């Protein structure tokens, strides 16, 4: 049963709220009770391997498909299409009319979102010039390179100055230079006040850009919170190299510590670094090197989503 969100549940702190979203395709459950809260003005990442349910979740949030069950509120509306003029969307599978000129394609995408065509053309000219594509404004899309066409579609996504920008695997297919440009564009739009949601299976992008992430695996949200919060779920890791191979200092090392290339690797004990250091020095360890590393999002992801899922994402190389 599809539930309608009640007005009293609208919370302006969140650009997007999803409660128990479910999507079935025939007998297959693609999304299984996803709940999310995307703070207004944040950069929010949906992390997960291919087939985890990220795109289906985004499509439900945008109103392209209706959920089998659950509620969604997008910019305060429970019918996402009502908020369409304030949303920009870059789908995973990029698509433009091949015969359309670059400038017209950008203006057309704005017009779909309610931006008058003359204004769309004016803004398209400015954006194309800003991105060094002014000479291509009146060239058909089919004559552009893949990277250029992706840029055109991205510009079409933001032409109407949306409050919410949804990017599905935006880095896919881009070279390193264009990835850096896209990261900068995302940061700039966020600084301008837009809320940005993007899905990715490359943890590095999420780690660099996102304030909050949702980790999705097998159609469920395994984690939803700040990046620091995700990383804080793991203890910092200590890497220790000593001159002495044995001695009383060994009692300061946790029993589950492992040896990697001559150094001890273990989680920082709950007491913190000071008691550890004291015990090592007093016990005559002869500290050669000692590093306390904060866990990255990747380690947090492994811990949250499980080794199998992380291994699956590891197989998918960053673009």
Partner 1 sequence: MMRFIRSALVIARRDFSATVLSKAFIFFLLAPLFPLLMGGVFGGIGARVATQTERPVVAVIATQADMNRLAAARDRMAQAIGDEALVRIVGFPPEPDLAAQQKHLLASRQPPVRAVLSGGLSHPHLTGALGGDPATIAQLKLLIANARSTELALPPDVEVTNVPLSSGSMIRDRAVTAQIGEMLLFFLTILLSGMLLSQLIEEKSNKIIEVIAAAVPIDAMFVGKLFAMLAASVLGIIVWISAGAVIIQFMKHGGVATLPPPAVGWSGFLILSIVYFAMNYLLLGSVFLTIGAQASTVREVQTLSMPVTFAQVLIFGFAAAAIGNPDSTEGLAAAIFPLSSPMAMLARAAERPEWWPHLAAILWQTIWVALILRIGAQLFRKTVLKSGPRVPWWRFGRA
- Which spans of this chain sit near partner 1 (rule: CB under 8 A)? 1-2, 24-25, 59, 62-69, 81, 84-85, 87, 89, 91, 93-100, 108-109, 111-114, 153, 156
Nearer to partner 1, 110 or 295 (CB): 110
> What is residue 6's three-state secondary structure?
coil
Nearer to partner 1, 107 or 304 (CB): 107
Residue 50 C-beta: closest distance to partner 1, Å: 17
Nearer to partner 1, 33 or 269 (CB): 33
SS3 content of the chain, % helix, strand, coil (to 5): 40, 25, 35
The answer to whether residues 15 and 38 touch, using CB atoms and an 8 Å cutoff, is yes
Residue 25 C-beta: closest distance to partner 1, Å: 6
Residue 130 C-beta: closest distance to partner 1, Å: 22
Q: Burial of 251 by CB count in 10 Å (0-12 exposed, 13-18 middle, 19+ buried)?
A: exposed
Q: Which residues pair with 292 in a beta bridge?
A: 238
Could you tell me the CA-to-CA distances from 89 to 93, 160, 214, 270, 276 in Å, in that order? 11, 11, 19, 45, 51
Closest-CA residue to 156 (of 98, 115, 192): 115
Residue 309 phi/psi, 5-degree rounding, is -65, -40
Nearer to partner 1, 92 or 211 (CB): 92
**Which residues lie below 8 Å from residue 295, measured CB to CB, with a gap of 6+?**
231, 234, 235, 236, 237
- Name the token pair of 15: 């650009």
Residue 287 C-beta: closest distance to partner 1, Å: 57
Nearer to partner 1, 69 or 125 (CB): 69
Closest-CA residue to 201 (of 319, 41, 307, 57): 319
Dist CA 76 CA 5 (whole Å): 10
Residue 257 C-beta: closest distance to partner 1, Å: 50
Q: Burial of 246 by CB count in 10 Å (0-12 exposed, 13-18 middle, 19+ buried)?
A: exposed
Nearer to partner 1, 105 or 305 (CB): 105
Residue 314 C-beta: closest distance to partner 1, Å: 28
Residue 216 C-beta: closest distance to partner 1, Å: 19
Residue 279 C-beta: closest distance to partner 1, Å: 59
Q: Where are the alpha helices (DSSP H) in the chain?
A: 54-62, 102-112, 117-130, 146-158, 176-191, 203-209, 227-232, 273-282, 297-305, 307-315
Nearer to partner 1, 25 or 146 (CB): 25
Nearer to partner 1, 57 or 153 (CB): 153
The answer to whether residues 169 and 61 touch, using CB atoms and an 8 Å cutoff, is no
């Amino acid at each position: 049963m599809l539930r309608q969100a009640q007005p009293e549940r609208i919370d302006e702190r969140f650009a997007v709220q999803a409660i128990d979203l479910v999507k079935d395709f025939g007998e297959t459950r693609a999304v299984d009770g996803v709940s999310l809260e995307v703070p207004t003005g944040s950069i929010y990442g949906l992390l997960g391997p291919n087939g985890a349910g990220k795109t289906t979740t985004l499509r439900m949030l945008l109103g392209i498909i209706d959920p089998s069950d659950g509620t969604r509120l997008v910019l305060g509306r429970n019918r996402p299409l009502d908020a369409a003029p304030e949303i920009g969307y870059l789908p995973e599978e990029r698509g433009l009319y091949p015969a359309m000129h670059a400038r017209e394609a950008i203006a057309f995408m704005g017009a779909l979102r309610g931006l008058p065509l003359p204004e769309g053309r004016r803004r398209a000219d400015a954006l194309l010039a800003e991105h060094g594509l002014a000479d291509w404004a009146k060239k058909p899309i089919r004559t552009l390179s893949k990277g250029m066409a992706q840029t055109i579609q991205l510009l079409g996504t933001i032409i109407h100055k949306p409050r919410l920008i949804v990017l599905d695997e935006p880095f896919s297919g881009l070279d390193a230079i264009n990835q850096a440009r896209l990261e900068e564009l995302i940061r700039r739009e966020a600084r301008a006040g837009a809320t940005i949601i993007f899905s990715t299976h490359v943890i590095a992008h999420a780690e660099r850009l996102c304030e909050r992430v949702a980790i999705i695996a097998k159609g469920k949200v395994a984690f939803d919170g700040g990046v620091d919060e995700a990383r804080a779920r793991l203890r910092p890791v200590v890497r220790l190299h000593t001159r002495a191979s044995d001695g009383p200092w060994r009692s300061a090392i946790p029993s589950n510590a492992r040896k990697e290339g001559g150094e001890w690797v273990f989680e920082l004990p709950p007491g913190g670094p000071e008691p550890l250091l004291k015990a090592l020095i007093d016990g005559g360890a002869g500290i050669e090197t000692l590093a306390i590393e904060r866990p990255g999002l990747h380690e947090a992801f492994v811990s949250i989503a499980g080794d199998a899922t992380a291994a699956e994402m590891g197989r998918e190389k960053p673009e």
